[in-house]
């Protein structure tokens, strides 16, 4: 039988969710504050599903979600936010700390079941791809939110075999590519979203950054620095009326083990391999 944990301080709401989950053959436990929820979630074995309220008497739900994603025991547990804070801003903030789905109170049974299915679909995707963990982060095109997401993902990287220097390099590359997505992909339109997917594989960490732009050809960027002549683009930028810069891609490539774009050019994948894997690649 699947096990679900409800973290909710309103017992009427908790009992309602409990009845709906039991109807789908879940074994259910309830925690009425964030600290108790974290303790229950990290107990062995961890739950198969967590329903998390955002408004709790001690920690807020965002902080609880962030902690759940940072803990190895609960990194891959599906999390559904269940809250009266149904506005898009709260939904996006929940996704920035690793939630998989969101349902607003008051909700119909179908709303909850649909959100649970989305969360379990994410879990099934992890298994198919043989990932050790995955976190999807969605943010508006605001540099401060990119920095917040980068700090969150940096904490996740500490749970991997990456060395501190490698983590710093990955952080720097993510900031460069995230800023490119905001500035060039989404044209600094704050309402446009940037999607960041953080994946832990057997031998490496991958970060995928995707914007809503029409894309570009990475091989044809006269306003961006190239390895052959890293300064020739400056004159092009001046003629185009662009600010000084254009070093983002060049810098990111130097910091990573691999950097690749999708065919459309609106998605970039950053790869940092674990130390043993880097050593093997060097030897061979």
To the nearest whole number, what is the mean pLDDT of the chain? 86
Contact 107, 80 (CB under 8 A): no
Burial 82-120 (b: 16+ CB within 10 A, else e): bbebeeeebbbbbbbbbbbbbbbeebeeeebbebbeebb
- Per-residue model confidence (pLDDT) at position 239: 57
Tell me: the pLDDT tens digits for 105-133?
Answer: 999 999 999 999 999 999 999 999 999 88
| Among candidate residues 50, 6, 49, 22, the one with its CA nearest the CA of residue 109 | 22
Of the candidate ranges 12-26, 105-119, 209-223, the one whose mean pLDDT is the lowest: 209-223
Q: What percent of the chain has pLDDT above 90?
A: 67
Q: Tell me yes or no: is domain 2-129 CATH 3.30.70.370.
A: no
pLDDT at 37 over 80: yes
Q: Tokens standing for 168?
A: 């710093």
Give the model's pLDDT for residue 79.
97
Q: How does pLDDT run across 168-180, given as a tens digit for each residue?
A: 999 999 999 999 9
Whether 263 contacts 189, CB under 8 Å? no
- Give the CATH architecture of domain 133-283: 2-Layer Sandwich (3.30)
Reading the block at residue 83, the tokens are 């809250």
- Alpha helices of the chain — where are they, by DSSP H? 11-23, 34-42, 61-70, 88-96, 109-129, 143-157, 164-180, 233-240, 248-255, 275-283
State residue 218's pLDDT score.
67
Contact 205, 173 (CB under 8 A): no
SS3 annotation, 76-124: CCCEEEEECCCCHHHHHHHHHCCCCEEEECCCCHHHHHHHHHHHHHHHH
Mean pLDDT of 26-35: 97
Q: What is the DSSP string of 149-172?
A: HHHHHHHHHTTSS--HHHHHHHHH
Residue pair 212/262 in contact (Cβ under 8 Å)? The answer is no
Q: Does residue 193 carry a pLDDT above 50?
A: yes
- Please, which residues have CB within 8 angstroms of residue 27's CB and are 6 or more apart in sequence? 1, 2, 3, 4
pLDDT at 219: 61
Prediction pTM value: 0.81
Q: Which residue has the higher pLDDT, 151 or 239?
A: 151
Q: Provide CATH 3.40.50.2300 ranges for the chain.
A: 2-129
Mean pLDDT confidence for 131-142: 91
Residues of the chain with CATH 3.30.565.10: 133-283
């Amino acid at each position: 039988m699947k096990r679900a944990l409800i973290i909710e301080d309103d017992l009427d709401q908790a009992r309602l969710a409990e009845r709906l989950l039991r109807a789908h053959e879940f074994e259910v436990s309830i925690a009425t504050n964030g600290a108790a929820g974290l303790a229950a979630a990290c107990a062995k074995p961890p739950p198969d599903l967590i329903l998390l309220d955002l408004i709790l008497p001690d920690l807020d739900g965002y902080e609880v979600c962030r902690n759940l994603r940072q803990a190895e025991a609960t990194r891959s547990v599906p999390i559904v936010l269940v809250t009266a804070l149904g506005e898009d801003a709260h939904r996006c903030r929940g996704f920035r700390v690793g939630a998989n789905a969101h349902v607003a109170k008051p909700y119909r049974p179908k709303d909850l079941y649909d959100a649970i299915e989305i969360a379990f679909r994410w879990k099934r995707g992890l298994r198919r791809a043989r990932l050790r963990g995955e976190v999807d982060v969605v943010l508006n095109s605001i540099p401060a939110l990119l920095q917040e997401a980068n700090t969150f993902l940096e904490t996740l990287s500490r749970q991997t075999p990456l060395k501190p220097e490698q983590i710093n390099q990955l952080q720097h590359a993510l900031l460069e590519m995230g800023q490119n997505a905001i500035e060039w992909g989404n044209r600094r339109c704050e309402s446009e979203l940037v999607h960041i997917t953080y994946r832990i594989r057997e031998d490496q960490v991958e970060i995928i950054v995707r914007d809503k732009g029409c894309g570009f050809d990475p091989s044809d960027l006269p306003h961006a620095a190239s390895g052959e002549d890293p300064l020739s683009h400056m004159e092009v930028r001046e003629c185009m009326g662009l600010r000084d810069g254009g070093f983002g891609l060049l810098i990111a490539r130097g910091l990573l083990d691999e950097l690749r774009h999708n065919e459309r050019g609106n998605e970039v994948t950053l790869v940092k391999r674990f130390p043993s894997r880097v050593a093997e690649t060097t030897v061979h």
